[in-house]
Amino acid sequence: MTAGTLAAEGFRPARIALVGPPNSGKTTLFNTLTGGRQKTANYPGVTVERKSGLLKTPGGHPVEVLDLPGSYSLRARSPDEAITRDVVLGRQARETLPDALVCVTDATNLGQHLRLLLELRQLGRPLILVLNMMDIAQKRGCQISTEALSRQLGIPVVTTVAMRKHGVRDLLGQIDALLNQAPAGDGVTAISDWVEPSPDAIRAHHREVERLLQEAVVREGAPEHLTRQLDRVLLHPVAGPLILLALLFLMFQAVFSWAEAPMDWIDGGMAGLQQWLSAHMEESLLKSLLVDGIVAGVGGVVIFLPQILILFLFILLLEDSGYMTRAAFLMDRLMSAVGLNGRAFIPLLSSFACAIPGIMAARTIAHPLDRLVTILIAPLMTCSARLPVYVLLIAAFVPATTVWGGIGLQGLVMFGLYATGIVGALAVAGVLRLTLLRGDRQPLLMELPSYKWPNPANVLLGLWERAKIFMRRIGTIILSVLVILWFLSTFPAAPEGATEPAIYYSFAGLIGRTLEPLLAPIGFNWQIAIALVPGLAAREVAVAALGTVYALSGDEGAVTEALTTTLAQSWTLATALSLLAWYVFAPQCLATLAAVRRETNSWRWAAFMFVYLMTLAYLAAFVTYRVALALGGG
């Protein structure tokens, strides 16, 4: 029985895996093939995304297309590449061996990309070679005889222009042909005789590729010029770093200025919802849970969605255009000084929006130790959840004056907080690399792809994925934590004739008051201690919690405004500075800890991160408080 008939009889769709080196346009081809009918899930045990999509071929075969992580070789060097190897070999748990493989290569870089095809051909599975980006190759005057290549390799060869659906019909036709003849129930469930290619085997493949190209390439294309010219500027020893710095500056400016309007809308919407609920519901526990617990809490987190999306828009544009690897190139020497890889730059940059996607982006780092260090320092990058706290305290305690001829003092303090996080992260990385996570320096070996215009569909799909991840996190972890925290801060209710706000008598109050002696040396009063209990789940919740503790009411904007005045009156400068220092380091985000556990597959590293960040936070707050007191900030 063939895969085709199997599928036609409704047993299961045929499974086709897309394999290809990075920068071969594989994902664009996948998007064109499957359109919106994609499904993203995780492979069990790891958080490598499993991207698949269903389609029907012209011949009527239902096909599940699997987009495997880009890989230069089946000799996997990173967790991503290991998934590609394991799926292709039928070793991946809960994943059957694909019925056919489609090897996607960049037609302008066949000399490098055909080597992976040779590795795949050795597996003896049904295989189709795709020469992608054929338009660019032709524009450079390159002519390739697909017939000769097909004859030499003994497999079908298709040319495509992934971005314009061009050649996709040919590819689907070849898949049809393959499914009509390839036996699916051939009994092969895994390939057991595969061995990692030795250096000499790789050399032999290179020679074979050269021979193939001599047979198939009718005319070589001219090398690309634009990338060379651009790199002359963008990788220039002086201009390069300056341009990178300017780009980052622009990016953060955009994150804060463009996000302002949508954040106001969300804020207004949530406040409206709260008012509507307050007006239309009976006074009850359920109302309290909905209004104070869920809407206020969810609103406090959803409000960061615009900032996160804008930051990711920049990151995806830079990544898709090919600039991100240049940034990694420029930063590598600086980062290798503390034992990090240049590639860590991308995850750390993402962490400025939110540490969770940053931690997930660390998957592209091949070496486990490099990857672990990157994950462990990612939460030190100032994520957008810290901002409400920073803004509140700076507004209350730092005068809005200018220093050194026109630089705003408030902005300067904000910059200082960002810088402290970065310097702290680099120091921690250096210390970890010298102590716990000692190991050889890992090679960089990174392709600098040709520049190209970002593909809008890819960027939009990428943004949609980030938004989904973020919203899912709100729907699961944050929501359940909010319910628990609401419970902790509502029960038991305040006794008759209570003089303090109700939260003082609740479990949260009890925990806060128990912690108070421990927090007194760093200048925290019982109000802060109580606010830190809900703030442990998500940093930004602390602002709302402070509002509750100081018994302020009204919508969020009014609370923040009133808080600014209240705090300025009731706290000392030393206490405020100490809390700011605490916030730079403290691991107050359960979702991040959960992400670390998932990515490292152990609670041990999540626990380690929690302890080391807590210790740093305490020390930083202690030193800040004592120094500020000594300088008269009491």
Partner 1 sequence: MDGHGGRERQLFELGRLVKAGLTQPLGLMRPGGVGRILAVRSGEGDVERGLLEMGFVEGACVEVLHHGFLGRDPLAVRINQAMTVALRRGEANAVLVGPLLNRATDVEPTTDQESRPS
The one segment of 185-193, 323-331, 503-511, 535-543 that binds partner 1 by CB under 8 A: 323-331
How far is CA 516 from each of CA 393, 463, 590, 634, rounded to the nearest angstrom?
20, 43, 22, 19
336 sits near partner 1 (criterion: CB under 8 A)? yes
Instruction: Decide if 585 contacts 613 (C-beta within 8 A).
Output: yes
Taking the complex as a whole, how short is the minimal distance between the CB of residue 348 and partner 1, in angstroms? Answer: 18
Q: What are phi and psi of 410, to 5 degrees?
A: -60, -45
Q: Using the rule CB under 8 A, which residue among 89, 191, 235, 413 binds partner 1?
A: 235
Q: Using the rule CB under 8 A, which residue among 109, 506, 560, 600 binds partner 1?
A: 109
214 sits near partner 1 (criterion: CB under 8 A)? yes
Instruction: Decide if 156 contacts 36 (C-beta within 8 A).
Output: no
219 sits near partner 1 (criterion: CB under 8 A)? yes
Burial readout 243-259 (b: 16 or more C-beta within 10 A, e: otherwise): bbeeeeeebeeebeeeb
84 sits near partner 1 (criterion: CB under 8 A)? no
Q: Residue 141 or residue 268: which is nearer to partner 1 going by CB? A: 141
203 sits near partner 1 (criterion: CB under 8 A)? yes
The one segment of 39-47, 233-241, 300-308, 396-404 that binds partner 1 by CB under 8 A: 233-241
Q: Using the rule CB under 8 A, which residue among 188, 444, 515, 562 binds partner 1?
A: 444
447 sits near partner 1 (criterion: CB under 8 A)? yes
**Which of 456, 322, 454, 457 lies closest to 34, judged by CA?**
457
Taking the complex as a whole, how short is the minimal distance between the CB of residue 73 and partner 1, in angstroms? Answer: 5
Three-state SS letters, 276-313: HHHHHCCCCHHHHHHHHHHHHHHHHHHCCHHHHHHHHH
Sequence-distant (6+) residues with CB within 8 A of 142 are 107, 108, 217, 219, 220, 221
Sequence-distant (6+) residues with CB within 8 A of 126 are 99, 100, 101, 178, 182
How far is CA 191 from each of CA 15, 120, 261, 538, rounded to the nearest angstrom?
16, 11, 55, 46
Contacting partner 1 within 122-151 (CB under 8 A): 141
Q: Using the rule CB under 8 A, which residue among 202, 247, 391, 590 binds partner 1?
A: 202
Taking the complex as a whole, how short is the minimal distance between the CB of residue 189 and partner 1, in angstroms? Answer: 28
73 sits near partner 1 (criterion: CB under 8 A)? yes
The one segment of 24-32, 206-214, 375-383, 480-488 that binds partner 1 by CB under 8 A: 206-214
238 sits near partner 1 (criterion: CB under 8 A)? yes
Two tokens at 307? Answer: 């900032």
41 has which bridge partners? 50
The one segment of 238-246, 298-306, 406-414, 466-474 that binds partner 1 by CB under 8 A: 238-246
User: Binding residues for partner 1, per CB under 8 A?
Assistant: 72-73, 75, 77, 108-109, 111-112, 115, 141, 197-199, 202-203, 206, 210, 213-214, 217, 219-223, 225, 227-228, 231, 235-238, 240-241, 325, 328-330, 332-334, 336, 342, 441, 443-449
